[in-house]
């Protein structure tokens, strides 16, 4: 299997249909889900020639973490629904590839076990932890302490989910919860019982100020689409943004991330890094996002397809193919590093 589309087809054959739909689906009419990929399709590259870039270097640094390429793994829930090895397999593949895995708060493996798996394959792996701020701030604080102790390098606070998106495939399939043998292991409280992840529309910048006080880890906000929110995030002392519409799973008809990107890049003016996710499936997509102002991209579903199709090896293969495609695209565009990609290369 070479392309992400081929991995998706293989995953679809292996997965329970309701689980495939949970991974693949989006909110409402899935307009935003489609718009993310379509936005890359609407843009063309205008390559430069004779630039003398024989050796390319894909490495970047984001919020203090080194990445071997400007592609990280966005947080996705329930990896053990995709493959019995779950998040451990993902962590091994991502650590071996030298990039960042953002562990979902809804992971089906404890953060300590994910960290141990990553450390078994790389000396100094970078794991970030994604957080839904819980209305019970004391409990939120205990989850943050636990992630810190496990050695995570940054926190990614998802802010696009004041309520859970309406995913009609899940309603139709009656898929609402994990099977009883799986649990969201990072939501265990002191007594060992597992709490539900609560979405809260009460959250405000005050809660973020509380979090900023309670941890010295770099903080990124995930789910920013409005340039004014990007400015407020900078003012709040945030260390990076993930330009995201949650892969089209929250607000349907929300703007595609690539369309939102140029205004966000202008709003932050390079003061903090931008990671874009949503619809990245090819090396050419990565190049377009970087040229239009992202410092890196995130991939969500492609990792789940690799995992479901072939476990750790499948995730490794998805990352290797994207790396190869990205390197090849840089060469064809006349660029030697991600930093050389500028907006004039995109129409």
Ligand X SMILES: O=C(O)C(=O)c1ccccc1
Residues 42-81: x where in contact with ligand X by CB under 6 A, - otherwise, as a string: -----------------------------------x----
Q: Which of ligand X, ligand FMN, none is residue 98 near (CB under 5 to 8 Å by kind)?
A: none
Q: Which is nearer to ligand X, 18 or 197 (CB)?
A: 197
3-state secondary structure of 154: strand
Select the residue interacting with ligand X from 43, 88, 153, 249 (CB under 6 A): 249
Partners of 71 in the β-ladder: 297
Q: Which is nearer to ligand X, 198 or 324 (CB)?
A: 198
161 labeled part of a ligand binding site: no
280 labeled part of a ligand binding site: yes
Residue nearest to ligand FMN (CB): 300
Do residues 213 and 137 touch, judged by C-beta distance below 8 A? no
Task: Kindly identify the residues of this chain, within the stretch 102-161, that bind ligand X according to CB under 6 A.
Answer: 106
Within a 10 A sphere around the Cβ of 65, how many other Cβ atoms? 19
Return the half-sphere exposure (C-beta side, CA atoms, 13 A cut-off) of residue 29.
4
Q: Are strands 65-67 and 154-158 parallel, antiparallel or unpaired?
A: unpaired
Q: Which is nearer to ligand FMN, 38 or 236 (CB)?
A: 38
Residue 236 to residues 208, 212, 220, Cα–Cα distance (Å): 8, 8, 11
CB of 99 to ligand X, least distance (A): 21
Tokens of 151: 């050695």
Do residues 79 and 304 touch, judged by C-beta distance below 8 A? yes
Q: Which is nearer to ligand FMN, 108 or 329 (CB)?
A: 108
Query: Counting contacts by CB under 6 A, is residue 197 touching ligand X?
Result: yes
CB of 123 to ligand FMN, least distance (A): 27
Tokens of 16: 């329970």
CB of 222 to ligand FMN, least distance (A): 5
Partners of 230 in the β-ladder: none
Task: Kindly identify the residues of this chain, within the stretch 115-134, that bind ligand FMN according to CB under 6 A.
Answer: 130
115 backbone φψ class: left, alpha, beta (φ>0; ψ -120 to 50): alpha
Confirm whether 328 is a catalytic residue: no
193: exposed, middle or buried (Cβ count in 10 Å: 0-12, 13-18, 19+): exposed
284 labeled part of a ligand binding site: no
Angle between helices 31-41 and 283-291 (to 10 degrees): 80
Contact residues toward ligand FMN (CB under 6 A) are: 23, 36, 74-77, 104, 106, 130, 158, 222, 244, 246-247, 249, 277-280, 299-301
* Binding site, annotated residues for FMN: 75-77, 104, 130, 158, 222, 244, 277-281, 300-301
Contact residues toward ligand X (CB under 6 A) are: 77, 106, 197, 246, 249
* Binding site, annotated residues for glyoxylate: 132, 167, 246, 249
Catalytic positions, please?
246
């Amino acid at each position: 299997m070479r392309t992400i589309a081929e991995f998706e087809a293989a995953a679809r054959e292996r997965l329970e249909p309701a689980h495939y739909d949970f991974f693949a689906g989006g909110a409402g009419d899935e307009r935003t889900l489609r718009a993310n990929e379509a936005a890359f399709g609407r843009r063309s590259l205008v390559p430069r020639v004779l630039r003398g870039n024989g050796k390319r270097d894909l490495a970047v640094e984001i919020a203090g973490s080194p990445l071997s390429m400007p592609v990280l793994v966005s947080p996705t829930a329930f990896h053990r629904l995709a493959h019995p090895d779950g998040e451990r397999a993902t962590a091994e593949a991502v650590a071996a590839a030298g990039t960042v895995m953002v562990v979902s708060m809804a992971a089906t493996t404890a953060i300590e076990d994910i960290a141990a798996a990553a450390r078994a394959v790389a000396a100094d792996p970078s794991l970030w932890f994604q957080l839904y701020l819980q209305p019970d701030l004391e409990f939120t604080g205990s989850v943050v302490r636990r992630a810190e102790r496990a050695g995570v390098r940054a926190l990614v606070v998802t802010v696009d989910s004041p309520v859970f998106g309406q995913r009609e495939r899940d309603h139709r399939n009656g898929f609402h919860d994990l099977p009883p043998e799986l649990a969201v292991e990072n939501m265990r409280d002191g007594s060992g019982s597992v709490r539900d992840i609560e979405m809260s529309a009460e959250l405000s910048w005050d809660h973020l100020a509380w979090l900023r006080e309670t941890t010295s880890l770099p903080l990124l906000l995930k789910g920013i689409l409005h340039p004014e929110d990007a400015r407020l995030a900078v003012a709040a002392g945030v260390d990076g943004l993930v330009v995201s519409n949650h892969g089209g799973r929250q607000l349907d008809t929300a703007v595609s991330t690539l369309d939102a990107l140029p205004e966000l890049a202008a709003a932050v003016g390079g003061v903090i890094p931008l990671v874009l996710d949503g619809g990245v499936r090819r090396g050419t997509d990565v190049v377009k996002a970087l040229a239009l102002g992202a410092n890196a991209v995130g991939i969500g579903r492609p990792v789940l397809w690799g995992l479901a199709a072939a476990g750790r090896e499948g995730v490794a293969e998805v990352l290797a193919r994207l790396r190869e495609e990205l390197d090849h695209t840089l060469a064809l565009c006349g660029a030697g590093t991600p930093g050389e990609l500028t907006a004039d290369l995109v129409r």
